[in-house]
Amino acid sequence: MGDTMEIRILVASARHAGAIKTMAEELAEGVRIAGGMVDVADVAAVRAANLLDYHGYAFGSPPQYGMPAATMAKLFDDSVMVHGRLAGRVATAFSCERHAGGGGESACLSILASCMVHGMMVFGSAQGGHYGPVATGEPDDACLRQCRAQGERLATMARVLACARRGEAFA
């Protein structure tokens, strides 16, 4: 029964257009490949209370002075209302920057730190994009593959954690 549990994932990105939207859609495809249900949204439309509807999250933002965009920061500021109730869920981050060294990795780290404050489990990749996929300009094929793989891992990890919370075995 554990592997048939419906898993819901939110992929939310700031400035939901262009490269960051392309990355969000590819992450969502990875979630679908792993059998998860996924909602893709502009983070400005996400309310903190709605975070409780999901088992896992992929948060994406272009860097703004090395930090996530203001709309992403606002969601985390507002999330104080659900503090303590997101613990044990899983999250990852992604970003796109205009040029190499443009702050994408630091934006990912900031997002992951905000997730950790909620007690979420966070992950990156040992194969590159250690803090989450980061595109420089438009995402190339390698970046899109990394996004898809990150989405698959996110859905799988969310399913394992959800099954564990319910006391079910994961097959």
Q: Considering only CA atoms, which of 33, 29, 93, 22 is closest in space to residue 63? A: 93
Cα–Cα distance for residue pair 107/114, rounded to 1 Å: 11
pTM: 0.94
Tokens read off for 8? 């819901």
Enumerate the domain spans of the chain: 2-165
Residue 16 identity (one-letter amino acid) = H
Residue-wise pLDDT tens digits, 114-171: 999 999 999 989 988 899 999 999 999 999 999 999 999 999 999 999 888 888 776 5
Cα–Cα distance for residue pair 20/47, rounded to 1 Å: 20
Residue-wise pLDDT tens digits, 44-66: 999 999 999 999 999 999 999 99
Q: At the topology level of CATH, where does 2-165 sit?
A: Rossmann fold (3.40.50)
Helix or strand run (H / E) with residue 32: helix 18-33
Q: Do 147 and 133 form a contact (C-beta atoms < 8 A)?
A: yes
Cα–Cα distance for residue pair 171/167, rounded to 1 Å: 13
Residue 5: predicted pLDDT: 79
